[in-house]
Every structure is written in C-alpha cells, then in structure tokens.
Amino acid sequence: MRVPLLCLSFLALPMLPCTTAAQSAASADISSRTASTVALPAAYDVISVRPHGQEDQRVGSYWRTSPSGFTAANVPVRSLITSAYNVIMPEQITGLPGWAQTENFDIEAKFDPENAEAVTRMRGDDRLKENALVMQALLADRFKVKARVEQKELPVYNLVVSKGGPKIKQADASQPTSYGTGLGTVHGKAMSIAFLCASLSHSAGRLIIDKTGLTGNYEINLTWAWNDDPNSTAPSLFSALEEQLGLKLESAKAPLDVVVIDHIERPTEN
C-alpha cells in the first residue's frame, strides 16, 4: 500500500476527488469551471517557490492547506501534478524528467482575503475542483508545465454499500463542509461520499470510485490502522469502512486519466 506524502492535523495532503461510475464528469471538471454563485479565483494571488536547500534536509515533507492557500515543504513537482490533475497512482503520470521526481521544493501559495472568502463559501467537492484548477495555473506559471490528459484502463476500488446498509448520518442541507484528516483518520461534517473517496484514495493506493448511490452530505468518522501498522489496535481500512460506515471496497478496473507531461522546466527562485 502506497504511503502519501503526509497527513498532518487538518487536511494535509492535497485532496484528490474520486470519480462517479463513469468518471467522465470528473475528467471534464479538471479542465472546466463548475457553476457557482461566487466568483472563483483563476490563480493564487501570491506564490513563492524555492528549492529545498541541503541545510534544510532535517525538515521532513509536509503539506498544509486551508481556504487561503497551501504551504508545502520538501515536496517534489510530482506531488503538485498529482494535486493539479487529480491522479492517485504512479502510472497516471508519464513524461516527467528525473529531476521532477527527485528534486524537492518549498512552496507557499495564497489567495488574497476576498478570494479566500470565496473559496471558504464553496462546498467541499467544488473546493476540490477549484484547488485543482489553481494548482494547474501555478504549474503553468512557475514550472512552465504543458500537459495533456489521456485515458488508460487501470485497477481501481469501487466503494459500495455493505449488505447491512450504510451506518452514516445525513447532514443538514444548510451545514457547511468541514473536515480533518490524519494518519489513519477522517472526520467530517457535511462531507459527500465523493469527498470521502478523495480522502481515502491515497491510503488505499488506488483511485476509489463512488458506486454507493448515496447522495447528499454526511457526518463521517473513520479510524483505521495507518499503512496496515501491525502494532495498531485499529482495523484495516477495508474493515474500518465496513464496521464503522457500512461501506465496502471492491477491486475493479476503470478507464482513468493519465497525465502526459510534454514540457516542464525548473522554476526560478523568487
């Protein structure tokens, strides 16, 4: 099982949305804006990118996000591409030069207060799509990335309802989305099943596709043994989903987006 870059206290790793059964809607959303009643920023207002220096090697990798932007330390460009194009598995990115996978960077990207407020008012799924779009803009601006998306059939997990039915409570329609993730935990209020899939795909090592048929938003509280830690008393991710949420992962194959990098450059320091 592949380990993600990090998950610190409150929404760490860039969240990656799962697809619906056909995945076509999510693929289209990567390159187009969703309908919204608020004006959406097209890019971060302030961006700082610098190579992670040798003197900083004692600092581990981390990625912290908030409605105002994100701060990342000691991360490769591959992680930015993963966030920008909503991909999970290594097979979903091709064409990267060696340095883009081995050289790490410290990055800070922020919205101005007005744009941060607009992002704050977005529902969870729309916020994921917005995060992907502004990350694509960052890559194009600072790394001169030119990319195209193709499709390839790859292994996935389908998330389905267990035989006993779901064990999650539907949230009030007026409740805003809020969530937190950690190493083996996902807690959320007014979280959609698509957003749950996004939260779990890195831990599962495959894209998780929502096949539950559940609509609306839910209160989610899930705890599992991180990276199948044998010393943990928590259940595996597979068992935790069934025992705590009444949901189940099933192996499958599906056509997924594969990002082909046609051009990328090392960034110039700020």
List the beta bridge partners of residue 188: 179, 220
Tell me the pTM.
Answer: 0.65
Decide if pLDDT at 29 tops 50: no
Half-sphere exposure of residue 78, counting CA atoms within 13 Å on the CB side? 20
H/E stretch holding 24 reads helix 24-31
Q: Which residue shows structure tokens 């056509």? A: 255
Which of 23-37, 107-121, 155-169, 227-241: highest mean pLDDT? Answer: 155-169
Decide if pLDDT at 193 tops 80: yes
Predicted local confidence at residue 58, as pLDDT: 53
Predicted local confidence at residue 183, as pLDDT: 85
Decide if pLDDT at 79 tops 70: yes
Decide if pLDDT at 27 tops 70: no
Least trusted range by pLDDT, from 23-32, 50-59, 141-150, 160-169: 23-32
Which residues have CB under 8 Å from 269's CB, separation 6+?
49, 50, 51
Predicted local confidence at residue 155, as pLDDT: 95
pLDDT over 70 for what percent of the chain?
81
CA geometry: angle 151, 238, 84, nearest 5 deg: 35
Q: What is the mean pLDDT of residues 71-83?
A: 91
Decide if pLDDT at 2 tops 60: no
Predicted local confidence at residue 174, as pLDDT: 83
Decide if pLDDT at 9 tops 70: no
**Helix, strand or coil for residue 150?**
strand
Least trusted range by pLDDT, from 23-27, 130-134, 167-171, 240-244: 23-27
Rounded to the nearest integer, the mean pLDDT of the chain is 82
Which residues have CB under 8 Å from 98's CB, separation 6+?
none
Decide if pLDDT at 206 tops 60: yes
Distance CA 187, CA 250 (A): 22
